[in-house]
Amino acid sequence: MQTVSPTRMNLLQRRTQAKLAQQGVDLLKKKRDALVADFFNVVRRALAARERLNKACEEAYVMLSLAKAWEGREALEAVALTQRSERLVEIETRNIWGTKIPEIEMVNGQRAAAAVAKGAGPAAGDGNGFNPVATSARAMRSASNFREILAALVEVASTEIKLRKIGEEIKKTTRRVNALEQIVIPRIRGEIRYIRDVLEQRAREDTFRLKRIKKKLEARERTALES
């Protein structure tokens, strides 16, 4: 406060700054509201994705257990030996109020690893590379359930990373709003008050001085007239 030189120029500058800060607060509040609305949308989706994942896991592990029990772990793992496929995910970045939020999505279809592509590719009956003669429906359902888990996992990852990013941004925006409202704006207002007070004081002193000079001049005039 002491470093601010109480000049009219600084007063005008501070007033502009205060106005700008207030505009910043309004904008940040709007951004925060938009982020909060988005956050709640994503929360709903994240909960649904979690539920989907839990359900998929429950079904998949029960089915895998049944398949292992009926066919034996060894037979099932032998089936899995030929299954070396890749699943592709696509990551796009969306901009929400200047915040970059990743959108992760699974690409439809799978790319089998080169080693398996020819040996047990789409011609292998079920379209997923299994030999339908030597692979039971339980094993196939189990594999399909785990593919569903993978899709659900990607969805959970996508929504939860979005939630974290939006959450962090809300926190950051709130901190900025608070800093502006509670520190920057009060400080500028204090400086404005200080400069205004000093300028008013100066103005009063000037008036007082002028009045004293005027009085002195009048007194001098009066003395001259009397003499």
Partner 1 sequence: MPADFGYINARVKGMRSRLLPPGRLEEMLALPTLDDFMQALTTTPYGPDLQEALSRRAGIQAVDEALARNFQQITRKILNFADGQPRTLIELVLLRWDTANVLAILRGKHTARGAEEITANLIPAGGLRDVALRDLAGQADVAGVAGALTALAHPFSTPLAEGIRAYQETNDLLELELRLERYYAEHVLSAAGGSDHSAQVVRLVVQAELDVTNVKTALKLQRQERLSGEDRARFFIPGGMVTSEDLFVALADPQTAERGWRALYARGFPRLPATDDLLEIEKTLDLYVLRESAKLYLGDPLAIDVVIGYLSMKYNEVVNLRLIARGKLLGIPREMVRREMALV
Which CB, 75 or 150, lies closer to partner 1? 75
CB of 146 to partner 1, least distance (A): 15
By beta-carbon proximity to partner 1, the closer residue of 2 and 108 is 108
107 binds partner 1 (CB under 8 A): no
Residues whose CB is less than 8 angstroms from the CB of residue 48 and which lie 6 or more positions away in sequence, other chains included: none
Block residue for tokens 């901009």: 95
**Residue whose CB is less far from partner 1, 42 or 124:** 124
Residues contacting residue 153 through CB under 8 Å, at least 6 positions apart: 53
Please pick, from the candidates 2, 3, 9, 115, the single residue that binds partner 1 as defined by CB under 8 A: 115
- Shortest distance in whole angstroms from residue 65 CB to partner 1: 4
Which of 31, 32, 138, 165 touches partner 1 by CB under 8 A? 138
116 binds partner 1 (CB under 8 A): yes
Q: Which of residues 61-90 bind partner 1 (CB under 8 A)?
A: 61-62, 65-66, 68-70, 72-75, 77-79, 81-82, 84
Tell the smallest beta-carbon distance from residue 116 to partner 1 (Å): 6
Q: Hey, which residues between 36 and 55 contact partner 1 (CB under 8 A)?
A: none
Q: Which is closer to partner 1, CB of 55 or CB of 73? A: 73
127: contact with partner 1 by CB under 8 A: yes
Is residue 126 at the binding interface for partner 1, with CB under 8 A as the rule? yes
Smallest distance from partner 1 to CB 39, Å:
35
Q: Tell me the three-class secondary structure of the chain, residue by residue.
A: CCCCCCCHHHHHHHHHHHHHHHHHHHHHHHHHHHHHHHHHHHHHHHHHHHHHHHHHHHHHHHHHHHHHHHHCHHHHHHHHHCCCEEEEEEEEEEEECCEEEEEEEEEEEEEECHHHHCCCCCCCCCCCCCCCCCCCHHHHHHHHHHHHHHHHHHHHHHHHHHHHHHHHHHHHHHHHHHHHHHHHHHHHHHHHHHHHHHHHHHHHHHHHHHHHHHHHHHHHHHHHHHC
* Whole-Å CA distances, 98 to 21, 25, 37, 102, 194: 19, 16, 15, 13, 36
Q: Is 225 in the site for partner 1 (CB under 8 A)?
A: no
Residue 153 touches partner 1, criterion: CB under 8 A: no
**Residues binding partner 1 (CB under 8 A):** 61-62, 65-66, 68-70, 72-75, 77-79, 81-82, 84, 115-116, 118-120, 123-127, 131-134, 136-138, 140-141
